[in-house]
């Protein structure tokens, strides 16, 4: 295994890992899955402009699922992101 270099900043480390694969630096066969039950994801509030009809449809769908419409938007976005990642792998 190659030795992971020391970095002067997080930006330099980010640049390095954006170009390099980790398989030459980490023996992933020895990795163990870790569960972090108390980890809360960082949230960022955004403003999103939607057509009124789209928002009405989202609210209707959310009401049918008995969830807040903002939660439904996050679910739909997460599903779409997963589809995008899967299509990139193929």
Phi, psi (5° rounding) for residue 47? -110, 130
Tell me which of 47-51, 71-75, 85-89 is least confident: 85-89
Q: Let me know whether 25 and 53 are in one domain.
A: no
**Token pair in block for residue 46:** 């955004």
Q: How many CA atoms lie within 13 A of 12 on its CB side?
A: 6
Residue 76 covered by a domain: yes
Mean pLDDT of 13-31: 93
Q: Let me know whether 24 and 53 are in one domain.
A: no
Residue 79 covered by a domain: yes
Q: Let me know whether 48 and 79 are in one domain.
A: yes
Mean pLDDT of 78-86: 93
Q: Let me know whether 48 and 87 are in one domain.
A: yes
Please state the pTM of the whole predicted model: 0.54
Cβ neighbors of 26 (< 8 A, separation 6 or more) are 1
For residue 4, give its domain range. 1-32
Mean pLDDT of 11-18: 94
pLDDT band at 36 (very low <50, low <70, confident <90, very high): confident
Residue 37 covered by a domain: no
Residue written as tokens 């870790």? 34
Residue 31 has a pLDDT of 92
Number of domains in the chain: 2
Residue 39 has a pLDDT of 86
Q: Let me know whether 26 and 50 are in one domain.
A: no
């Amino acid at each position: 295994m190659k030795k992971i270099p020391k970095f002067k900043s997080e930006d330099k480390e980010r640049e390095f890992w954006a170009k390099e694969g980790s398989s030459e630096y980490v023996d992933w066969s020895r990795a163990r899955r870790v569960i972090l039950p108390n980890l809360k994801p960082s949230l960022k509030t955004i403003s999103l402009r939607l057509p009124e009809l789209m928002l009405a449809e989202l609210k209707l769908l959310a009401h049918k699922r008995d969830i807040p419409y903002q939660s439904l938007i996050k679910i739909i976005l997460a599903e779409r992101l997963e589809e995008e990642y899967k299509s990139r792998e193929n």
